[in-house]
């Protein structure tokens, strides 16, 4: 049975701290990236998607995040949508990440999430919603 | 104490603009399955939702 790993990265944790505290420089996480690798992400060893989609997949660009806070539950929900005009050639998406820049193959990643294979082309739009919780019970 | 820090839910929505069909899948990760920011979802834990 296939296991899909949802990994918050060491780089992501450090950038969260850097963004939130004065005197340490960090960038807000504002973009979602999509990729094609099935490599399992690890906390310290992974810093980006295994194989991010590219222009050869048909007008691929990272998409802006829409974030919604649920302060009662120390939770944030982050959504990104690939429109029909973003990845227009038939491409199998297997990984998604949240990052701090729209520039392809660069930036700091908060997380890498493996997802069941999604076939994307110009006939489909795809929305991924990732919920992060910082809580204890 | 269960520390539940990490990704606790992932949802995928696919809209086929040719057929008009929408498919939505969701996986929720229980608190005790998150360890140091890592959560694992088994294949059969993705549930199709309305």
pLDDT digits (tens, 9 = 90+) for A32-62: 999 999 999 998 999 999 999 999 999 999 9
Inspect the interface and report whether the beta carbons of A128 and B17 lie closer than 8 Å: no
Please state the separation of Cα A110 from the chain's center in Å.
7
Write down the mean pLDDT value for chain A.
95
Kindly indicate the confidence band of residue B4, based on its pLDDT and cuts at 50, 70 and 90.
low
Measure the CA angle with vertex A19, ends B34 and B7; round to 5°.
20
> Which parts of chain A register pLDDT below 70?
136-137
Number of helical H runs and strand E runs in chain B: 0, 5
Put simply, whether A92 touches B (Cβ < 8 Å) is no
pLDDT at B1 over 80: no
Put simply, whether B49 touches A (Cβ < 8 Å) is no
Inspect the interface and report whether the beta carbons of A113 and B11 lie closer than 8 Å: no
Task: Using the CB atoms, write b or e for A85-105: b if 16+ within 10 Å.
Answer: ebbbeebebbbbbbbbeeeee
Query: Could you identify the residue written with the tokens 């660069």?
Result: A106
d(CA A58, CA A61): 9
Please state, as a whole number, how many other Cβ atoms lie within 10 Å of the Cβ of residue A71: 7
Q: What is the pTM of this model?
A: 0.94
Interval B32-50 mean pLDDT: 86
Q: Which of B26, B36, B40 is nearest to A6 (CA)?
A: B40
Measured between beta carbons, the chain B residues lying within 8 angstroms of A131 are 7-10
Suggest the residue from B2, B8, B42 to mutate for an interface test with chain A (most A CBs closer than 10 A).
B8
Suggest the residue from B2, B6, B42 to mutate for an interface test with chain A (most A CBs closer than 10 A).
B6
Put simply, whether A87 touches B (Cβ < 8 Å) is no
């Amino acid at each position: 049975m296939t296991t899909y790993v949802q990994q918050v990265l060491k780089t992501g944790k450090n950038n969260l701290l850097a963004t939130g505290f004065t005197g340490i420089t960090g960038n807000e996480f504002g973009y979602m990236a999509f990729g094609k690798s099935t490599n399992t992400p690890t906390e310290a060893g992974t810093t980006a998607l295994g194989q991010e989609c590219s222009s050869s997949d048909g007008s691929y660009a990272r998409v802006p995040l829409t974030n919604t806070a649920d302060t009662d539950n120390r939770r944030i929900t982050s959504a990104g949508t690939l429109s029909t005009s973003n990845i227009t050639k038939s491409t199998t998406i297997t990984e998604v990440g949240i990052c701090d820049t729209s520039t392809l193959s660069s930036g700091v990643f908060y997380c890498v999430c493996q997802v069941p294979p999604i076939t994307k082309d110009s006939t489909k739009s795809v929305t991924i919603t990732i919920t992060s919780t910082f809580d204890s019970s | 104490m269960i520390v539940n820090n990490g990704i606790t839910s992932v949802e995928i929505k696919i809209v086929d603009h040719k057929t008009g069909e929408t498919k939505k899948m969701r996986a929720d990760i229980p608190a005790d399955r998150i360890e140091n920011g890592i959560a694992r979802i088994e294949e059969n834990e993705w549930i199709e939702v309305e």
